[in-house]
Amino acid sequence: MIDSLGASLSISSSGLAAQSRRLRVITENIANASTTGRTPEADPYRRKTVTFASVLDLKTGLSTVAIDRIGTDRTDFLLEYDPSHPAAGSDGMVRMPNVNLLVEMGDMREAVRSYEANLETFKQARQLVTMTIDLLRT
């Protein structure tokens, strides 16, 4: 029983770590949502994406979650007309980051919910381990 509870703790902690990293990437995207290049030829900030992978922990034999890679979103940059901007081209258009704040907020909400679910699972498993140890002492 303790082994299965330990497995729950391990799986939950890997989920916590993965969602925490995902939240940091989302925060970076939001923080750079209006970061343009310094010159008309320079690219603005490109949105980052997170890809998860199932990883087999050889020590425990458990399948856990991890960040597979942090990539970049290859969608087109947005164009805004602002001829006074230092990064404006000859046509007055400024290439803006491909960050959509609504998408980022949705991703953030999903990541927070997943983090909370993993945290609650971790708390419950830890409580069961404590209760089991208390029962074994008596």
Residue 58 has what pLDDT? 83
Q: With contact defined as beta carbons under 8 Å apart, do 7 and 134 qualify?
A: no
Write out the E strands in 5-116.
48-57, 62-72, 78-81, 93-96
- 57 in the Ramachandran plot: left (φ > 0), alpha (ψ -120 to 50) or beta? beta
118, pLDDT greater than 70? yes
| Residue with more model confidence, 132 or 70 | 70
Alpha carbon 42 to its chain centroid, in Å, reads: 27
Q: Nearest-CA neighbor of 107 among 17, 29, 55?
A: 29
> Tens digit of pLDDT for each residue in 71-116?
999 999 999 999 999 999 999 999 999 999 999 999 999 999 999 9
pLDDT of residue 59: 80
**Residues 21-37: tens digit of each pLDDT:** 999 999 999 999 999 99
Segment 104-130 shows an average pLDDT of 95
In the numeric block, the tokens 């419950």 are attached to 124
User: What DSSP character marks residue 77?
Assistant: P
pLDDT at residue 136 is higher than 80:
yes
Enumerate the β-bridge partners of residue 94. Answer: 80
What's the pLDDT at 132? 86
- Encode pLDDT of 5-17 as tens digits: 778 888 999 999 9
Give the per-residue pLDDT at 52. 96
pLDDT at position 37: 93
Instruction: Say if residue 1's pLDDT is above 60.
Output: no
